[in-house]
Chain A
Amino acid sequence: MQLHIALENIDTFIEITPTHKPIKRHFRTPEGRKAIHKRLLVFDAQFRSEILSKQQDISAMLKKENPDVDIDSAGVALTRTARIVVDKDLKPIYTFKEFDVMTRPDGTRQERPHKPIPPNADEPIPVKITDKLLDPVEVATKFVISRSFFLSHTDGVSYKFLYEIAKNLSTAGKFARLQAFDPITKKPAPLVLRESAKPYPGVFLEGRIRGDEYCLMLHLSDQELKIPEATVAPKEGDTA
């Protein structure tokens, strides 16, 4: 993935690589045979309980047969699926309007016609390294860093550019705050890596050097590290 980045009046296109890659998990049976994860069909939507319960004499039918199971399809391994828009009777609908609905923690609801979020990482207007420097302790105690990327050069010129940035940040012992812009209005905006992807209002750059090597990390945050005002209801289980 490319990032168009600028420091003062110099800009360049560089590569960014996620610091974390999905862990490939392997499983075997206790006897040592390879096992893979599969999604299997249990029942088609026409067999869901809301539909079956509307039928007359469902209890009588259940005594005679299995109206909730389709022997031909149950257990079929599913591969790819597509998502379609349907009404309450599961009839496909092709014409509709979209709205962004925000339900605030206090229960208030706001809505607006859906506004797609344009990406702005690789646009003609670059992501700017501002002169606002932050102490790492401030970043660690005020923001939740949920995604990070390594920055890397694409040629010798961008190597010099990035190395100097890493060196300056490392020497200062600070993180730089970055500012992305809306590619249409040119106004400051959260960083959006892909079309309608999650917007990150907090973007920080950390730099380290080791001889002629550098390590520049772009830290992204969409959450401040603070306790919600409303009482936090204990949530059992790990839903992540």
Chain B
Amino acid sequence: MPRKLRLIPSEGVAAIEVTLSKFTMEDLYGKKTLEKRTAAGETLSQVAVTLDGAHFLTSGSTSSQYIDESGLLVSDVVPTDQDGKKLQIFPDMFQEDVRLKQVISIEEYFTYNITKTYLLESEGDLAPLVERCQQLLAEKKFLAFMYAYYGTAFPEVAVLIPVDKHIIVAVGTPASLLWAKLNSNLPELFSEEESSEDEEPEFGEFW
């Protein structure tokens, strides 16, 4: 059973229970794989091998663990910043009702790289929410909420995009804009040389 999310479209409106059905480009266009075969037609596979050639690593051969500075296994870790300060852990979005208060502009939306797409589904009536999303889209805005499938210090943002009579939820993170400008100090360089700019170099002077 997919986990149910309770969305509150606006203040004073009852929560709608929704599910997020993930889809990818493979669901739209298909899955491309690269198959390797022998001349006899046997399909081959790829495995990881340690650089000394001693170990072949198939599925389940390795385990991801945290170790401390002395090389001991650590069972419990907390996310921190670079200086070791603990980061806030955001609870998963299924624990509490999600109030759709955040509105982002289309300019902000285009700073996002979308990592996941979901179809928003509900046994209830989604039409009012679709309508609200369409009204916002006419103003070049989107509804958004914090996306945390599990409790995490690194949540993403889910953006509600109306498509026909449905809502697609695009999940991603924003980036800060990078402004570029002419970083040349040519005017200063030439002003220093101004006094001598009429003095043309003599042929044969430079050797």
Q: Which A residues are within 8 Å of any B CB, using their own CB?
A: 17, 19-20, 23-30, 32-46, 48, 73, 77-88, 90, 93, 95-105, 111, 114, 136-137, 139-141, 144-148, 150-153, 156, 159, 162, 206, 208, 210, 212-217, 219, 222-228, 230, 232-240
Contacts and interface: CB of A to CB of B under 8 A. Distances in A.
B50 interface: yes
11 contacts: A29-B74, A38-B67, A79-B51, A81-B49, A93-B38, A96-B38, A103-B30, A145-B112, A152-B180, A212-B181, A225-B168
Interface string B130-166: 0000000100101000000110001000000111001
B28 A85 contact: no
Contact of A232 (B21, B44, B56, B63): B21
Contacts of A28: 77-78, 80, 84, 86
Contacts of A93: 36, 38, 44
Contacts of B79: 25-27
Interface in B72-115: 74, 76-82, 84, 86, 106-107, 109-115
A211 B153 CA distance: 37
Interface residues of B, number: 92
B123 interface: no
Interface in B1-46: 1-3, 19, 21-39, 42, 44-46
Interface of B: 1-3, 19, 21-39, 42, 44-51, 54-58, 60-69, 71, 74, 76-82, 84, 86, 106-107, 109-117, 119, 137, 140, 142, 149-150, 154, 161-163, 166, 168, 170, 173, 175, 177-182, 184, 186
B180 A150 contact: yes
